[in-house]
Homo-oligomer: A and B are copies of this chain.
Amino acid sequence: MSETPETPTAPASGSERAIRATELDAADPLAVVRERFVLDDTVYLDGNSLGALPRTVPGRIADVVAREWGELRIRSWTESGWWTAPERIGDKIAPLIGAGPGRVVVGDSTSVNIFKAVVGGVRMAGKGCTEILVDATTFPTDGYIARSAARMTGLAVRPVEPARIADEVTERTAVALVNHVDYRTGRLNDLPSITTALHSAGALAIWDLCHSAGALPVGLDAHGVDLAVGCTYKYLNGGPGSPAYLYVREGLQERFESPLPGWNSHADPFAMDPGYAPADGIVRGRVGTPDILSLLALEAALEVWEGVSMDDVRAKSLALTDFFLECVDAHVPPGRVRSVTPADHRQRGSQVALQCPGAGEVMDELIRRGVVGDFRHPDVLRFGFTPLYTSFRDAERAARVLGEVLGAQPDAVAPGTAG
């Protein structure tokens, strides 16, 4: 909102929050990381859908296109390290999700990796197993793909709320496919305890990390997760539709049988052997020729993590979402929105979801006013907080503009100037 000479002094609370935001930004150990991204005056709270552009990417991609493809051409498969990019970049993602080297491979979409993980998991499960549990609140593609995997392996799918999995798992459960953070509400599911409960019943745990990787510590190795998948275009900032990844626990790799055994997963791909023999290790999670432009954009994007501690990321994420909720309380008239994101830190990811009548139109207006979140059917405003580049001032401004859009009489607008 424009301030005019007639504008009276804003109430102390609004000013104080703006001052607090500035102070919090000044004390933020991650504030310097923001400079590693291309940002503008927009408050960008949609990094949980598409991360902002890291400054490392444009120059790297220009070189990949002009020199590696344009000049070296076919030689780049060896000389520019293209062939080994899926596992090399997997090893760069690994520390961000608590995985040792040789456990993560990058390539294909999240949906394709879910298929590999679920079918691969079912094939490693006990012979008497008859069902696949799927997070009842899952992002839809996980459920669609799990049903296809079930159809093709002769099992049934049973949807279960994450909080009920420990009670519902039985000796007939082959695997459970669970979202680490709920895409809609931002609820963080309890990965360690759910994984333990699954193991106690003899089932494998498959986690979808799309909304947690890069936003909070995951600890795949430490918690004994069996298989995991995730995208790289949200908190990992890999670019639109950048390739997803597959994690297979070290002790399971030898038994992992991919349902998509493309030639890149062969023990000796250039032998052109008509008989299939899987490669050792995580390479057997590869399928076809890797998508080099997108892979190498992702590799460049991962440079923003240099020197970043995931504990700092988590601390800032919680501080940002706390502060945003406080500002929403202050700016938005009572009863206009309701947070569906858990207040308990132990159950919160890195987004805030507000139920709001007419959420679609409200988000359109927010975007017109320079605050970009997104709308999720039917009535949710989603605001993602990427600790690497979101500031406390961003959080304060977003809440203030939301209050304006929802028709609060803005603190600082004089009579006669429209809100």
Residues of A within 8 A of B (CB): 38, 40, 44, 46, 49-50, 52-53, 57-58, 61-62, 65-66, 68-71, 73-77, 82, 107-112, 115, 119, 136, 138-141, 143-145, 147-148, 152-153, 159, 184, 231, 233, 239-244, 258-264, 266, 269-274, 276, 287-295, 297, 367, 372, 374, 376-377
| Neighbouring B residues of A108 by C-beta, 8 Å | 108-109, 112, 288
Alpha-carbon distance between A276 and B233 when the two chains are bound, in angstroms: 24
A294–B243 Cα distance when bound, in Å, is 11
Q: Is A140 touching B272 in the complex (CB atoms < 8 A)?
A: yes
Report B-chain residues with C-beta under 8 Å of the C-beta of A288: 108-112, 141, 244
Q: Which partner residue on chain B sits nearest A119 by CB separation?
A: B152
A210 to chain B, nearest CB (A): 10
Given contacts A58-B66, A140-B263, 8 further A-B contacts (CB under 8 A): A53-B70, A61-B62, A108-B288, A112-B262, A112-B288, A115-B259, A240-B291, A272-B376
Q: How far is the CA of A276 from the CA of B139 in the complex (A)?
A: 12
Closest 4 CB pairs of A and B: A109-B288, A111-B262, A111-B288, A240-B292
Copies in the complex: 2
A69 close to B115 (CB less than 8 A): no
Question: Contacts A276-B147, A293-B293, A293-B297 given: A69-B239 contact, CB under 8 Å?
Answer: yes
Are A293 and B240 within 8 A (Cβ)? yes
**Docked CA distance A50–B261 (Å):** 22
Contact B50 A73, beta carbon cutoff 8 Å: yes
Q: Is the pair B240, A82 in contact by a Cβ cutoff of 8 Å? A: yes
Contact residue among B138, B159, B293, B376 (Cβ-Cβ distance under 8 Å from A239):
B293
Residues on the B chain within 8 Å of A297, using CB: 65, 293
Please report the C-alpha to C-alpha distance between residue A290 and residue B291 in the assembled complex, in whole angstroms.
12
* A63 → chain B closest CB, angstroms: 10
Question: Which residues of B are found within 8 Å of A73, using beta-carbon distances?
Answer: 44, 46, 50, 52-53, 372
Measured between C-beta atoms, what is the minimum distance from A326 to chain B in Å?
26
Question: Judging by beta carbons under 8 Å apart, are A274 and B40 in contact?
Answer: no
Report chain B residues within 8 Å CB of A38: 66, 70-71
Contact of A140 with B261 in the complex, beta carbons under 8 Å:
no
- A333: min CB distance to chain B, Å: 28
Known: A112-B260, A262-B141, A377-B272. A69 touches B289 (CB 8 A): no
Q: Give the distance to chain B from A288, nearest Cβ to Cβ, in Å.
A: 3
**Selected contact of A289 from candidates B46, B110, B143, CB within 8 Å:** B110
A175 to B295, CA, bound (A): 34
Question: Please, which residue of chain B has its CB at the minimum distance from the CB of A134?
Answer: B274
- Which residues of the other chain, B, contact A50 by a CB distance below 8 angstroms? 69, 73-74, 77
- Residue in B66, B109, B261, B270 whose CB lies within 8 Å of A262: B109
Please judge, given known A-B contacts A261-B144, A292-B241, whether A287 and B109 are in contact too, CB under 8 Å.
yes
What residues on B are CB-neighbors of A376 within 8 Å? 272
Contact (Cβ within 8 A) B287 A112? yes
Contact status B65-A259, CB under 8 Å = no
In the assembled complex, 7 residue pairs joining A and B whose CB atoms fall closer than 8 Å, in A order, are A109-B262, A119-B152, A140-B266, A144-B266, A145-B262, A147-B261, A240-B291
Compute how far the CA of A49 lies from the CA of B264 in the bound complex, rounded to whole angstroms.
15
**Shortest Cβ distance from residue A298 to the other chain B in the assembled complex, whole angstroms:** 9
The answer for the CA separation of A76 and B52 in the assembled complex, in Å, is: 12
